[in-house]
Amino acid sequence: MSTNPTIDSCTVETSDGVKLHTTFFKPNQYEEEEEENSWVVILVHPYSILGGSQGLLRGIANGLSRKGYKAVTFDMRGVGRSTGKPSIFGFKEIKDVVAVCKWSLENLSVNKILLVGSSAGAPIAGSAVNQVEQIVGYVSIGYPFGLLASILFGQHHKNVLKSPKPKLFIMGTQDGFTSIKQLNNKLKCAAGRVEKHLIEVCRVSTFRLVLHGKHWALSQSRAFWLVF
């Protein structure tokens, strides 16, 4: 039976001095894993400039912790109680992701990270994948591969697709930013092990998908092959 997780918060400082409001979710009852297998799920929220925040991912983090997994959410620079200013193209936010990953490794008794990005948080997270050795897998929820998004995040696309680390792309069949054809074309050139998981939904935004959690295959173990 699931139990309420222990939820706590702290401030994580980036390499350029930005302070990030960070929340971590730890199961109350679980068997301590051996150190060599201990890991955490770190969640990266949607585009800051369009209202993205860690609050959108709280339900997912709660769900994971209820199933016995450690999870971390955080507000990127310029969001909520985090200092600094958000960037249009998301390059500065890569430092935010890296800082939270390093903090988790140092403070949560873990040595493996499953990195999850939602909407515009997915390309930002993807650019951080190869910057932290202990990131062993990557999951995208509603990756924005469309034309307009490519103008903003094109360089991020290249970074994640060329990474040899395992990748899972979760997307609604009528995503507002990326068509199935666009997704398939991009994944053809992806390096390493790649899987996709399509969710049959009506035309809704990725924000609503996150809030309703209909796409969340992680808690059903669909994506845990990435780690194990």
Q: Is the pLDDT of residue 220 over 50?
A: no
Q: Name the residue with higher pLDDT: 200 or 170.
A: 170
What CA–CA distance (Å, rounded) separates 154 from 150? 4
Cα four-point dihedral sign 154, 158, 160, 161: positive
Q: Has residue 118 been placed in a domain?
A: yes
Q: Distance of alpha carbon 59 from its chain centroid, rounded?
A: 13
pLDDT, one tens digit per residue, over 124-141 is 999 999 999 999 999 999
Q: Is the pLDDT of residue 38 over 60?
A: yes
Q: Has residue 227 been placed in a domain?
A: no
226 pLDDT band, cuts 50/70/90, is: low
> For the domain that residue 91 is a member of, what is the CATH number?
3.40.50.1820
Report which DSSP code applies to 84: S
Q: Has residue 226 been placed in a domain?
A: no
Mean predicted lDDT score pLDDT of the chain? 85
pLDDT at 135: 97
Q: Has residue 228 been placed in a domain?
A: no
What CA–CA distance (Å, rounded) separates 162 from 204? 29
Q: Is the pLDDT of residue 34 over 50?
A: no
Q: Which whole number is the average pLDDT over 205-224?
A: 49
pLDDT at 82: 98
Q: Has residue 164 been placed in a domain?
A: yes
What CA–CA distance (Å, rounded) separates 113 from 103? 11
Q: Give the amino acid at 66.
A: R
pLDDT, one tens digit per residue, over 15-29 is 999 999 999 999 876
Q: Name the residue with higher pLDDT: 141 or 4.
A: 141
Q: What are phi and psi of 24, to 5 degrees?
A: -125, 140
Q: Which whole number is the average pLDDT over 218-226?
A: 50
How many domains is the chain partitioned into structurally? 1
Q: Is the pLDDT of residue 35 over 50?
A: no
What CA–CA distance (Å, rounded) separates 162 from 185? 14
pLDDT, one tens digit per residue, over 40-93 is 999 999 999 999 999 999 989 988 888 888 999 999 999 999 999 999 999 999
Residue 214's nearest CA partner among 142, 116, 122 is: 142
State the residue range of the domain holding 193: 6-28+35-218
Question: Are the C-beta atoms of 169 and 192 separated by less than 8 Å?
Answer: no
Q: Which whole number is the average pLDDT over 215-219?
A: 47
Q: Has residue 1 been placed in a domain?
A: no
Q: Has residue 203 been placed in a domain?
A: yes
Q: Has residue 225 been placed in a domain?
A: no
Q: Which whole number is the average pLDDT over 165-169?
A: 94
Burial (Cβ within 10 Å: 0-12, 13-18, ≥19) of residue 4: exposed
